[in-house]
Amino acid sequence: PDQRVLPEDSDARIQTERLSAEFSSDEADGFPVVALDAASDADVEATAKVLSTLTGVGRVDAVTGRYLDGQLLIGPDPSLDAFRSGDAVRFNLVPTVAPVSPEGEAMVAAIRSADLPVGDVLVGGRSAQLVDTKAAIVDRLPLAIGLIGLSTFVLLFLMFGSILVPIKAIVLNLLSLTATFGAMVWVFQEGHLSSFLGFTPTGLTDTTTPILMFCIAFGLSMDYEVFLLSRIKEEHDRTGDNTAAVAAGLEKTGSIVTAAAALLAVTFVATGTSDITFIKLFGLGLALAVLMDATLVRGILVPAVMRLAGEANWWAPPWMRRIHDRFGFSEHVPDIEVPDSPAGLAGLDGPDRLEDRQSVR
């Protein structure tokens, strides 16, 4: 995020934009490039010339001087002596593009792929930080998604003894999340409704915000899913009628899920009143996700899919059924045969009699 995420009357934003508009130098955005094993001043000079010709690079400062468009602009001076430390040499690159932008990312890629006389270099600055942060997130994203999907499937299977129910829960949760992300891109990244909501669109989305939104929204969605499915499963175990169980589960949990979603939406909307753009996105995005999940997904899609699937909702292959029978768990105890009169319990003594009386209660 840059100064544009602040309110237009913020002193920090006003000062930053004035500096950018009235002072042409981009010195504040300069970033270091370090060669750990620079053999000679000739290699340093050749490297600085190559770097100064790359797209997005305006000027390069090195121990041998300052370079522009592949030419020496100003010769060496004492202020540049600090750019060498032993065998390591630092270059200071002043960009002509915004650091946090696609152009800034392309500039970093060009520097890292360039054939430089000093060999491989290390690139710092905000553009490189953006590139490396995205790379680190994307590198671990498949593992994170896999762990979430696998653990969700296993836990829901152990609870409901079904293959279709966990798959359906994951797919519908992802469906509501993708719709939410699409709405946030349309509003905050592309700038629709920006004047109404009071923010400045930047054309970008903060890298970590969608990940945090995913974690919270997916957890809340699964919470509502388990709450609804538990009631449906109880009715199905009791009656054996899938259609009646779906209807009863929706009837019994609908008002509670709606009330819980409304309470959470209020807190998220309150967060969405922030003047900081990415905090506003976070609050309004989660409010939309919760409301969409509690109405469209939990109130329409889940019952419709379970009604159409029929008894296939509760099917599992025999080997998986044996796993569920042994390791599965439930939040309710199956009904027991209760004697018609207290005399029927007369034959029970000690702990057995007490336990069964508690079960009857």
pLDDT in tens, 204-238: 888 888 889 999 999 988 888 888 999 999 999 88
Tokens of 178: 């993708």
What is the per-residue pLDDT for 359?
Answer: 47
Compute the C-alpha angle 27/31/34, nearest 5°: 140
**pLDDT tens digits for range 300-329:** 899 999 999 999 999 999 999 899 888 888
What are 105's two structure tokens?
């990312």
pLDDT, residue 164, reads 93
Cβ(31)–Cβ(93) below 8 Å:
yes
Neighbours of 186 (CB within 10 A): 12
Residues 32-89 pLDDT 10s:
999 988 768 899 999 999 999 999 999 999 999 999 999 998 888 888 888 998 889 9
Query: What is the C-alpha to C-alpha distance for residues 361 and 348, in angstroms, rounded to an integer?
Result: 16
Q: Give the model's pLDDT for residue 45.
A: 93
Q: How confident is the model at residue 358, as a pLDDT?
A: 47
Locate tokens 């009386």: which residue? Answer: 357
Dihedral over Cα of 316, 322, 327, 330: its sign: positive
Would you tell me how many other CB atoms lie within 10 Å of the CB of residue 145? Answer: 12
Give the per-residue pLDDT at 346. Answer: 52
The reported pLDDT for the residue numbered 149 is 92
Cβ pair 88, 114 in contact under 8 A: no
Which token pair is 285? 């995005």
Give 286's pLDDT tier (boundaries 50, 70, 90): very high
User: What are the residues whose beta carbons fall under 8 Å from the beta carbon of 308, sequence distance 6 or more?
Assistant: none
The pLDDT value recorded for residue 337 is 56
Residue 333: predicted pLDDT: 58
Q: How far is CA 336 from the centre of its chain?
A: 46
Q: Which two tokens stand for residue 51?
A: 């770097």
Contact 116, 75 (CB under 8 A): no
